[in-house]
Structure 1
Amino acid sequence: MRWIGLSLLAGVMLLVGSSCTMLGLNYASLDTANKPAATPPIDVAALVSDPGERARLKGLLQDTLYGAWPEGLPVSFGDWRVIVPDYLEGRGTLEELDITIGAGPGARTFQLVAAFPSGAVQVPVVIAQTFGSNCATFPEQPVTSMDGDACTVRDFGKFASMVISAVFGEYIAEAPIDLYFDAGLAYASFHASDFVPDDEDEAGPAIEALGGNPNPGSTLMAWAYAYSAVITALEADDRVDNQRMAILGHSRHGKAALLAAAWDRRVDAVIAHQTGFGGAALSRSPSGERLDRMVKSYPHWLAPSAAPYAADPATLPFDQHHLLALIAPRPLFLGNARRDVWADPNSSYRAAYAASAVWRAHGETGLKDDMTHFDPAADIAFFLRPGGHSIVDDDIEAFVAFLKAHLQKTAQLPSQVTAP
């Protein structure tokens, strides 16, 4: 457990030696009027009325940046284990489920941990991918650790936890289950790296061994498919309303959440927080991290085919507003921070603005107002707070407001299922 904390601490130290932009010492521009519009344009009429246009866009995403969506890769799961029957002083139960993705000896199993409110019947659920292990997300609870034993360490260690929380926010690891319960939500999460490691050397072999045809084309696609696998598991539980299932991801896991929602129409609402490049930020934007830097630093996130496009994003046959448009008309939350220039909130807003026409064509309102006004009830809820790349109290408050505003609404959407 402590090696995770040390690894994150090392990452923090790396940030200290990096540019002011990456550290969050600059401010994201609020000027969108004098910035380039998102290009190429979306064929709104075709995307709304022609399934072939949707398939074409998904094919472009797979062929360029992300690689294959692993259609039909086997998903199996066992029975729930109640590990804390009186969780949060009796407000609910804390339970654990083994989920296996893949076939044969290369199949990989991870633990989904869920908190169900007492007496839950057909309640909405938010599904999150986490940076820290399940031990860190549920401190002092007997969830299964990465080595297969019950957790014995509360978090990352006292010193590492202080540094990590100071830089990345109180909720980069721990989940505020009490607040989700207050909103009438069940909560489920898993450590994405328990499925496919977030490591350049380990991710490729893990994906190659899964036994699918095809396997995920990148780590981001693998993590996206893991969201879909969790939805399949939760669909089998009567405590969860299948028409009110939201997914949540921060940073790299927000990128995966966007991909999951684009491919799996069972996702009813999406919280994609500070996703940056490869997420909601425009690939053609010259600000922030940029695709070329991402490919050098995290080559396993994207497909091998991404490298030439990252070197010259102008050659891409799409941009990220097309990815966002594939999520319409479902509610989409895009979280940002003013000092998180590395994730480029300005171009993320411009991507959302361009995609908003698809929501309107479906009869929804789409994006409202400007970068600085957060409306949790908007179909594209754009959130910009002070601070940097982190998950803090203001974010959780915004997440919950968005979920409360939309989950009843999404229950009325027609069922469009693409199951793994």
Structure 2
Amino acid sequence: MRTPLFLLLAASAALAQTPRPGVNYDEAKVGSDPLPDLKLTTAEEWTQKRRPEILKLFEDNVYGKTPAGIGAPKFEVTATKTDALGGLATRKFIHISLPDRPAWPGMDVMLYTPNNVKAAPCFVGLSFGGNHAVSTEPDVPLSTRWMRESKEKNIVEHHATEATRGTESSRWPLEMILKRGFAVATAYYGDIEPDHADGWKEGLRAAVSKEGANTVWKDGEWGAIGAWAWGLSRIADYLQTDPQVDGRHLAVIGHSRLGKTSLWAGAQDERFGIVISNDSGEGGAALMRRDFGETTAIITKAFPHWFTPTYKSFAGNAAACPVDAHMLIALAAPRPIYIASAGEDHWADQKGEFLSGKFASPVYALFGKKGVGVEEQPAIDTPVGDFVGYHNRTGKHDVTDYDWTQYLNFAARHWAK
């Protein structure tokens, strides 16, 4: 009998904290396959030749290529509230649709901008629970889209209930962010594609495919992470038009599978001037060749829809993959990038996440910029790095105020230059 998706997802979250029999958590047993060569020469050659080569390798082997000719998005501001959060901010809802692809229901973006800033730099990310879960304001519309079953978050029969309001607000400390002078733009990732094996049939990928829900995905064609990353870029499209946002200063951010998404969005779309990965693990910031915690074999069995079909061919055969996570991190160069881990999150391989930043740092050196700046993984709660930031926070697989403090400081430091 097929295991329900919500049980698979719950098990995955639990494994982020709990050792699993048969999974390697021993540094003495990590993989020894050499990493693919970045082939460093000059900054100009990196930009003109090597970076496009690596980007294509990720398209072909990991995330798939975003199709061309999807069509121009339409933006409709559906509501504006100028005294949101007790007067601290202006809140807007923007519906993004594709007039040429009416089968896609579109996505609803929630944008908070601080009222004391003329044009604010903006953090852009997708949420797991919907806009109503991010904000504690009771007048935020309740999402009607498919969601993962969760007793903890009061999601019943795959739909949100009134009791789900604010359940993700600890991961999005809106007042903290706004008081530092930054805006926040977010949307529910399930608006783009519901996160289950057949979710694409009701989401963006079917709507833009000639075969629709009958599509058979081939090697090199995009998975859900590619679709979610496309959605982040459409939010950026809108933000370029909003006078309350500084469209030159956009930071893309994501946690866990959405951390993988933020890395891929940042790799493809250089309008994201800062890229932030929070506990993204395998298929994200963690080096796949280490085989520590979650592996390619595990993730492609549990969540094959996230990736292009090619990726599963590297299960148990990481040496055959022409890329690894340090190359994904390097695709952000010379833009600042921040990688965060959590001390209890062995499933996501904290050291593997640090090492990807370390081994990407020589690319930043081509541009005269300093990367992580240290040889060894730093002590817990000790942020390091300049253009490649890193910390390993006390606690579990989550996003906390500690994480956000580092991201806000990182953005303020780089955008003040």
TM-score interval (norm. to shorter): 0.7 to 0.9
Q: Is 1:47–1:54's contact at 8 Å kept on the other side of the alignment?
A: no
Q: Deviations over 1:235-291 (max 9, x none)?
A: 011221122110110000010100111111111001110000110111111110101
- SS at the partner of 2:126? strand
Q: Take 1:158 and 1:259, find their aligned partners in 2: how far apart are those partners?
A: 29
Question: Which consecutive unaligned segments of at least 5 residues does structure 1 have?
Answer: 1-5, 149-154, 160-168, 410-420
Amino acid of the residue matched to residue 356 of structure 1?
S
- Give the one of 316, 325, 328 matched to 1:323: 328
**Residue of structure 1 equivalent to 2:148:** none
**Residue of structure 2 equivalent to 1:418:** none
**Residue of structure 1 equivalent to 2:18:** 20
- SS at the partner of 1:268? strand
**Residue of structure 2 equivalent to 1:74:** 71
Q: Is 2:287–2:325's contact at 8 Å kept on the other side of the alignment?
A: yes
Q: CA deviation at 1:83?
A: 4.2
Flag the 1:28–1:193 CA change in 2: closer, same or farther, 3 A. Answer: farther
Q: Does 1:49 align with 2:53?
A: no
Q: Take 1:310 and 1:46, find their aligned partners in 2: how far apart are those partners?
A: 34
Q: Does 1:115 align with 2:123?
A: no
Q: Does 1:92 align with 2:89?
A: yes
Amino acid of the residue matched to residue 271 of structure 2?
R
- Give the one of 193, 198, 217 matched to 2:195: 198
Q: Take 2:5 and 2:313, find their aligned partners in 1: how far apart are those partners?
A: 30
Q: CA deviation at 1:9?
A: 8.7
- SS at the partner of 2:284? coil
**Residue of structure 2 equivalent to 1:386:** 394
**Residue of structure 2 equivalent to 1:264:** 269
**Residue of structure 1 equivalent to 2:242:** 237
- Give the one of 389, 398, 411 matched to 2:406: 398
Q: Superposed, which structure 2 residues align to 1:5-404 within 5 Å? A: 11-12=9-10, 20-21=18-19, 36=32, 39-45=35-41, 48-50=44-46, 51-101=48-98, 103-147=100-144, 156-157=153-154, 175-204=172-201, 206-211=203-208, 217-369=222-374, 370-372=376-378, 374-375=382-383, 378-404=386-412
RCO higher in structure (CA 8 A, sep ≥6): 1
Q: Take 1:47 and 1:253, find their aligned partners in 2: how far apart are those partners?
A: 29
Question: Which consecutive unaligned segments of at least 5 residues does structure 2 have?
Answer: 146-151, 157-165, 212-216
Q: Percent identity?
A: 26
Q: Is 1:87–1:93's contact at 8 Å kept on the other side of the alignment?
A: yes
Flag the 1:80–1:19 CA change in 2: closer, same or farther, 3 A. Answer: closer
Flag the 1:52–1:133 CA change in 2: closer, same or farther, 3 A. Answer: same
Which sits farther off after the overlay, 61-70 or 170-179?
170-179
Q: Take 1:263 and 1:383, find their aligned partners in 2: how far apart are those partners?
A: 24
Q: CA deviation at 1:213?
A: 8.4
Q: CA RMSD in A?
A: 3.3
Q: Take 1:300 and 1:158, find their aligned partners in 2: how far apart are those partners?
A: 22
Q: Take 1:17 and 1:45, find their aligned partners in 2: how far apart are those partners?
A: 41
- SS at the partner of 1:60? helix
Q: Is 1:27–1:340's contact at 8 Å kept on the other side of the alignment?
A: no
Q: Take 1:56 and 1:403, find their aligned partners in 2: how far apart are those partners?
A: 29
Flag the 1:174–1:322 CA change in 2: closer, same or farther, 3 A. Answer: closer
Q: CA deviation at 1:140?
A: 3.4
Flag the 1:131–1:22 CA change in 2: closer, same or farther, 3 A. Answer: farther
Q: CA deviation at 1:28?
A: 8.6
**How many pairs were matched up?**
386
Q: CA deviation at 1:7?
A: 8.4
Q: Is 1:64–1:309's contact at 8 Å kept on the other side of the alignment?
A: no
Q: Is 2:365–2:371's contact at 8 Å kept on the other side of the alignment?
A: yes
Q: CA deviation at 1:8?
A: 6.7
Q: CA deviation at 1:12?
A: 4.1
Q: Is 1:73–1:212's contact at 8 Å kept on the other side of the alignment?
A: no
Q: CA deviation at 1:20?
A: 2.8
Question: TM-score scaled to structure 2, two decimals?
Answer: 0.83
Q: Take 1:349 and 1:188, find their aligned partners in 2: how far apart are those partners?
A: 28
Q: Take 2:333 and 2:340, find their aligned partners in 1: how far apart are those partners?
A: 17
Q: Take 1:345 and 1:17, find their aligned partners in 2: how far apart are those partners?
A: 14
- SS at the partner of 2:344? coil
Q: Is 1:28–1:345's contact at 8 Å kept on the other side of the alignment?
A: no
- SS at the partner of 2:332? coil
Flag the 1:102–1:28 CA change in 2: closer, same or farther, 3 A. Answer: farther
- SS at the partner of 2:280? coil
